Copies of this chain bind each other. A is one copy, B any other.
Amino acid sequence: MALVLDQDQALLRSTATQFARERLPVANLRRLRDTGDATGFDRDAWREMADLGWTGMLIPEPLGGNGFGHFGLGLVLEALGRTLAASPLLSTVVLSGTALTHASDAEPARNLLRQIAAGETVLALAHEEHPRHRPLAIATTARRDGEGYVLNGRKRFVIDGHVAETLLVVARTAGADDDPRGLSLFLLDGATPGISRHRLSLADSRNSADVQLSDVRVDRTALLGEAGAAGPVLERVLDVGRILLSAEMLGAAQQAFETTLEYLKQRQQFGVPIGSFQALQHRAVQMYTEIELARSVLHAALTALDEDGGADVPRQATVCKACVNDTFHLVSNEAVQMHGGIGMTDQVDVGLYLKRARVAEATLGTAAFHRERYATLQGF
């Protein structure tokens, strides 16, 4: 397992870090927020990311990707996380791309993967139906209707849901709430009649939307893979999402920590830097320790995605998301407190990291959710 970076990886990380700093600094997120930008991310930067090959990292070469793999994409997301950079990498490449890869090898899916690799389209996974992560609580139905299906339901907190050209909708073709069987994946053009999308305003100023499906009629080609077979696909998709979201979160936590550490060294009170106070030093060491633990876990989980057959992925994803959640939670709180009054203002960045922290913590499962899941996976 590669817990330590090799040369290619180190180069990739440094490219991505520089890109984030120069092209998508925190000021970019502020601009999107303060101008009420309708897209919610920078389309030019998105094209540049595609040119750098980041959109094709999970996609095999025959489909236009480069197969750099999850570890590489994790390094990119970690770098982007440092500046809270908004991009459709998570929605399109990670969640939708993984779903397409695992759900179907038919031409519609392959075609979309080609477009994803080329950075030509934005997709969104419409899955969650509750504010609290409940992956199997799917009430959205897809009812057979002649040769096609009719979908009804409400999807919530769909990342990039209001801008995606295509929606990947998880719907129930059989079974009751919480039943892993009976779930199916549908590919819906965003313009299909009956779909209404409503952008949400969340604390982190990142993209999220509610999607209402009212008698949405699609033909049978909209079904990805077999009806009722999406359960295992979904589990894999969510695990990949958890790990790569963790990468973004760890980058953000690392940056919030470094900014705070710098402040501790600069800020003078009582004639000395406040970082000379032992109580703050011990708390800084605690943050450092938690970040390093999280890094080990994240790198192991990314490696598992690339290397092992997948048996270990659910456990690793769950350990990873829980650990990174707790770490970002701690660091984001301490960053504000250690900045004192100025940390409470919108003027400095630490508050933005705090806001991103809670949204990301709740996305794809809180630490408590993952502790419970860990116990289940380990059979206790």
Where the two chains meet, the residues of A that have a C-beta atom closer than 8 Å to any C-beta of B are 277-279, 281-282
Contact = CB atoms under 8 A, between A and B. Distances in A.
6 contacts: A277-B278, A278-B278, A278-B279, A279-B279, A279-B281, A279-B282
Contacts of A278: 277-279
A281 B281 CA distance: 13
A279 B279 CA distance: 4
Contacts of A281: 279
A337 to B, nearest CB: 13
Main secondary structure on A side of the interface with B: helix
Closest 4 CB pairs of A and B: A278-B278, A278-B279, A279-B282, A279-B279
A281 B277 CA distance: 11
A191 B282 CA distance: 59
Contacts of A282: 279
Contacts of A279: 278-279, 281-282
Nearest to A276: B278
Nearest to A280: B278
A67 B137 CA distance: 60
A26 to B, nearest CB: 32
Nearest to A277: B278
A50 B164 CA distance: 82
Contacts of A277: 278
Nearest to A283: B279
A197 B268 CA distance: 68
A334 to B, nearest CB: 14
A327 B56 CA distance: 55
A327 to B, nearest CB: 21
Nearest to A281: B279
Nearest to A282: B279
A376 B68 CA distance: 53
A281 B282 CA distance: 12
A281 B279 CA distance: 8
A281 B278 CA distance: 10
A279 B286 CA distance: 13
A282 B280 CA distance: 10
A328 B290 CA distance: 27
A189 to B, nearest CB: 46
Most buried by B among A277, A281, A282: A282
A274 to B, nearest CB: 11
A282 B281 CA distance: 12
A132 B279 CA distance: 38
A277 B281 CA distance: 11
Nearest to A285: B279
